[in-house]
Structure 1
Amino acid sequence: MATLYQLHSAMDTLRRSTKEIALTWRAGDSILLLGTTVAFIDWLEAYLDESEIRGVGGIYALADDVAQLAASTTAELNLNAKLTRILTDEEWVKMTQDPQFDKVVTIAL
């Protein structure tokens, strides 16, 4: 079984949020970036590298949140290469109910 971490974090709390996730992380867990957190994906990757977090099952973002970014920002971040998938709201709800996840944890610091 795996955990889906829903991460909603400002840039100034992202490192702390990543440390919170690391406390209960298991290989195969996944992260869903909520709100503006998707804009900080490069920083998230750096914090994941310096943490105890290994074996990420997937990193996802919501289509509505990605759409809020400027097209140039989206291209510069190269989200298609860094995200496992961009989800619609309906897909997000289905994911939270997927039996592969025994827990859905929201981190919003």
Structure 2
Amino acid sequence: MNVAEWTAVVTAAGSVLGGGGWFVARATVRAARATAAATEAAARATAAPAQLEANLAVLKASVERVDEENGQLRGRQVRFESLLRAFAWTVDRWAGQMHRAGIEPEPVHPLVEEYNRTGV
């Protein structure tokens, strides 16, 4: 082979290898992106149990607070219902006293009449 032929071979090889270099560089960038994505996914997977535990702690605290508030509200509701029954009983006694004394009391409010009928 003479110099011209060698030059042609080297030029052709350089073109092929240069083009191949572009593909290699492109593959390297893709590999780097895939590695970064895998690293990020691994970090998320590692942090997931800690995040779940933190979320569970917040949920438990919320449930305890709501249970305490519900207990207080139930106590207040029971006390209020007892007071309402006592008040209704007292007013009924007074109305009976007024009837026996010949005094006609004012008609009761419709809500009071409903409570006296249904207990609700």
Give the TM-score, by structure 1 length.
0.22
For CA contacts below 8 A with separation 6 or more, give which structure has more relative contact order. 1
Q: Work out which of the two has the higher radius of gyration on C-alpha atoms and give 1 or 2.
A: 2
Give the TM-score, by structure 2 length.
0.21
- Identify the structure with the greater helix proportion: 2
- Identify the structure with the greater strand proportion: 1
